Structure 1
Amino acid sequence: MFIIGLTGGIGSGKSTIAEHFSALGVPCIDADQTARDVVQPGEPALTAITQHFGPEVIQPDGTLDRRQVREKIFADPAAREWLNNLLHPLIRQRMVQQCQQAQGPYCILMVPLLFENHLQSLVHRTLVIDIDEATQIRRTMLRDNTTEEQVKAIIAAQCPRQQRLALADDVIQNGDEVTATQRQQAVYALHQTYLQLAAQHQSHG
């Protein structure tokens, strides 16, 4: 399967772009959703987390209390490392499986921290959704009902914009000046390119 890694900073509109690809019949796999799936009740990872952090990280309905876990790993770098070591390989393995099982000419793997977590090896090509920082801050504050300081802290923890653009094979601009039609046209143009690349990939495979 030919895999496109879709990424971008917080608030860049990755989901919107992924929806345009979905509308063209391209399967889209969301790393954030996969990360939620591996800690569902009944999953081995949830059992391991409960044993490590104690029963207080489980909510009455049996699901993981993300806030509790976040507080624990925020206060303790060793706990964060333990959790990452547990979850990252599981998430990676699950994403690879989902990509292999996807039905379509190629698939999109949407990974917010593609470059930060050095996951480029999972994909054949990278697509970055790009907006300027001021727009990023404003959109995220509106969407997540959060403060400017909090958004700036998240941006600071992510790959710098220039570095992300330098690592990208393809870029879609998604600032406020870009209309919905322009977005769709940009996606459609890339879709044609990806279809050709996917066909070449299959003929070589």
Structure 2
Amino acid sequence: MSQRRQFGRVRKLPSGRYQARYRGPDGLDRPAPTTFRTKREADDWLAGVQSELGRGDWRDPDAAKVPFESYASAWVKERPLAPRTAELYASLLRLHLMPTFGRKAVADITPAAVRTWRRERLDAGTGPSTVAKAYALLRTVMGTAVADELIRRNPCQIRNGGTVTTPERPTAAIPEAFAIAEAIQPRYRALVLLAAFCGLRWGELVALRRQDVDAD
């Protein structure tokens, strides 16, 4: 039985739960996304919607039902990315984000779901750097969804979740550099010594030829 009220409608279902409905600014009759245990809960939900309408903060609940796979794929295509960046994003989406979020609606991706995804990727042995890059991409895509007014808040709330920490690479001591030069194939010995003591970049090293080296 429907119960009339100033904004929206609440009715009790045969199951004993309550359903809330309201007419949106677009003229469509819209139900709450879930039913409620009590009439008070349904009334409170409608009051929240009415407040959003009054503030001009209402969002079309159907707009955010777009699957993450479709939204993220469009997001990548719309951006002028360098080839290597586009390749990286495609790999991160395919291998790390789509298996979990691909079929989910953008609106259904919650902070808890993001935290669980990140923990599972790390526990599965995915490198922390790769997980951080995938998380940063997810956060950026969902940030655009906020700007597009599909969702109100970015679900990526993990502090420093997108920070890539690379441990400092150890530097060979002088005796170790000579030991490497002695152990390597003779044809590469000069390469090792020049790299260790002359400060040349890799491109400069591999461009050198025998005639470029003055043994005297």
TM-score with structure 1 setting the length: 0.27
TM-score with structure 2 setting the length: 0.26
* Structure with the largest fraction of helix: 1
RCO comparison, higher one (Cα < 8 Å, 6+): 1
